[in-house]
C-alpha cells in the first residue's frame, strides 16, 4: 500500500515557523465521494456547519445538530487518508457549559472520526478551548464574521470596520492562541486586518474573505465549484461552473431516455 503523508494539527501548526512551507489549502466536505476526490489535493477537509445551508437547505447554520455533524463527519472520514479532518461544533453544542463542549467535541472525534474541532468565538470561549486542548482535543478557532452569531451581527456582513472592532477581533485571535488553538479561521474581515493578525499570531491563520495575507485559505466546496448561481459574494472565486455542467448532463440523460437512445447495446447485458 502507498504510504500516506498524513497532515495533522501538529504539522499544520509547525508550518507557521517554516517560512518556505506552502500555504494551507482547505475546503469543506460533507460526503464520502467528494472527500475521496479532495483528500489528496488539499491539506484540510472541514466538515463545516455550512452543511446547514449547502446540504439541508436552511438559511443559517443554527439548526444543525451534533448528530448531523457526526453523521457527515463519519462519511467524510471514510474518504480521508491524507488531509487533516476537522469538524465544526454546531451552534449550542459548546456555548452552554464546558461539560457540553467536552462531550460533543469528544463525540466528533470518537463517532465522527474528526482529528480536530472548530469553534466560533474568541475571548468568550477561550477557557473552553483551553479545557478541550488540555483533554487532548485539537481546536481550530474562528473569529471575525462568525455565522453562528448572525442574529447578533445583523447579517453576513464584513466585520472589523472600526478601530475598536479591529482590536476586538485581534484580541479574540490572541486569546485563542493563548488557549492552545492550533490554527484560526479569519472570516469576513478587511485584508489589512487579516495581514495584521497573521503577523501577530504564532499559529496559522486560514482566511475566507480575509484577504491574501493569511497563512491559508478555505472555501465552501459547492461555492468554489460554482454550484449555486445565485451566490456570488466578492470574496468568492468560482473555479468551475458545475451548475451548468450538471444541468447539461441531466438534460442529455433525460432526452436520451425519452428518445430511446439510452441504454444502447454497449450499456446493456
Ligand atoms: O461552516 C463552514 O463551512 C465554515 C467555513 C466557511 C470556514 O466555517
Residue 180: what pLDDT?
A: 98
**Given the residues 115, 187, 192, 248, the one annotated as active site:** 187
Q: Verify whether ligand 1 is closer than 6 Å to residue 28 (CB atom).
A: yes
Q: Under a CB-based contact definition with an 8 Å cutoff, are residues 140 and 86 in contact? A: yes
**Which atom of ligand 1 is least distant from the CA of 147?**
8
> φ, ψ for residue 30 (rounded to 5)?
-130, -10
- Name residue, grid cell 450499456: 267
Closest Cα partner for 148 from 185, 176, 121, 171?
121
Q: Where are the domains of the chain?
A: 9-238, 242-269
The pLDDT tens digits for 228-249 are 999 999 999 999 999 999 999 9
Largest pairwise CA distance in the chain:
70
The pLDDT tens digits for 174-220 are 999 999 999 999 999 999 999 999 999 999 999 999 999 999 999 99
Q: Hey, what long-range contacts does 14-17 have (CB within 8 A, 24 or more apart)?
A: 15/204, 15/215, 16/201, 16/202, 16/203, 16/204, 16/215, 17/202
- Catalytic, 187? Answer yes
3-class secondary structure, 223: helix
Cell numbers describing residue 61: 447554520
The pLDDT tens digits for 91-141 are 999 999 999 999 999 999 999 999 999 999 999 999 999 999 999 999 999
**Which atom of ligand 1 is least distant from the CA of 26?**
7
Residue 3: what pLDDT?
A: 59
Cell numbers describing residue 268: 446493456
Confidence of residue 145 (pLDDT cuts 50, 70, 90): very high
Distance of CA 260 from the midpoint of ligand 1 (Å):
44
Whether the predicted pLDDT of 4 surpasses 70 = no
Q: What is the distance between the alpha carbons of residues 2 and 53, in angstroms, rounded to a whole number?
A: 36
The superfamily in CATH containing domain 9-238 is Phosphoenolpyruvate-binding domains (3.20.20.60)
Give the mean pLDDT of the chain: 97
Confidence of residue 19 (pLDDT cuts 50, 70, 90): confident
Count other C-beta atoms under 10 Å from residue 78's C-beta: 13
Q: Verify whether ligand 1 is closer than 6 Å to residue 49 (CB atom).
A: yes
Q: What is the distance between the alpha carbons of residues 45 and 32, in angstroms, rounded to a whole number?
A: 11
Q: Under a CB-based contact definition with an 8 Å cutoff, are residues 30 and 223 in contact? A: no
The pLDDT tens digits for 28-39 are 999 999 999 999
Confidence of residue 2 (pLDDT cuts 50, 70, 90): low
Q: Under a CB-based contact definition with an 8 Å cutoff, are residues 154 and 203 in contact? A: no
- Name residue, grid cell 457527515: 72
Q: What is the mean pLDDT of residues 75-84?
A: 98
Whether the predicted pLDDT of 1 surpasses 70 = no
- Name residue, grid cell 472592532: 165
Instruction: Give all strands (DSSP E) within the chain, no chain letters.
Output: 24-28, 44-47, 84-88, 116-118, 139-144, 183-187, 205-208, 216-219
The pLDDT tens digits for 67-76 are 999 999 999 9
Distance of CA 258 from the midpoint of ligand 1 (Å):
41
Amino acid at each position: 500500500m502507498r504510504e500516506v503523508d498524513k497532515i495533522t494539527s501538529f504539522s499544520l501548526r509547525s508550518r507557521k515557523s517554516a517560512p518556505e512551507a506552502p500555504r494551507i489549502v482547505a475546503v469543506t466536505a460533507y460526503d464520502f465521494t467528494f472527500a475521496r476526490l479532495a483528500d489528496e489535493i488539499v491539506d484540510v477537509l472541514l466538515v463545516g456547519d455550512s452543511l446547514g445551508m449547502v446540504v439541508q437547505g436552511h438559511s443559517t447554520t443554527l439548526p444543525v445538530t451534533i448528530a448531523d455533524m457526526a453523521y457527515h463527519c463519519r462519511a467524510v472520514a471514510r474518504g480521508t487518508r491524507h488531509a487533516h479532518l476537522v469538524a465544526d461544533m454546531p451552534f449550542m453544542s459548546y456555548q452552554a457549559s464546558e461539560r457540553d463542549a467536552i462531550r460533543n467535541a469528544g463525540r466528533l472525534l470518537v463517532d465522527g472520526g474528526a482529528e480536530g474541532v472548530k469553534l466560533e468565538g474568541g475571548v468568550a470561549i477561550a477557557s473552553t478551548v483551553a479545557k478541550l486542548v488540555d483533554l487532548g482535543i485539537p481546536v481550530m478557532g474562528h473569529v471575525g464574521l462568525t455565522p453562528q452569531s448572525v442574529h447578533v451581527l445583523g447579517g453576513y456582513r464584513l466585520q472589523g470596520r472600526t478601530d475598536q472592532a479591529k482590536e476586538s477581533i485581534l484580541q479574540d485571535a490572541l486569546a485563542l492562541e493563548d488557549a492552545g488553538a492550533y490554527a484560526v479561521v479569519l472570516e469576513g474581515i478587511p485584508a489589512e486586518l487579516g495581514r495584521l493578525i497573521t503577523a501577530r499570531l504564532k499559529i496559522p491563520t486560514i482566511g475566507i474573505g480575509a484577504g491574501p495575507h493569511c497563512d491559508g485559505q478555505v472555501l465552501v466546496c459547492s461555492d468554489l465549484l460554482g454550484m449555486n448561481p445565485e451566490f456570488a459574494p466578492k470574496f468568492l472565486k468560482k473555479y468551475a461552473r458545475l451548475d451548468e455542467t450538471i444541468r447539461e448532463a441531466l438534460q442529455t440523460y433525460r432526452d436520451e431516455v425519452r428518445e430511446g437512445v439510452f441504454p444502447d447495446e454497449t450499456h446493456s447485458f
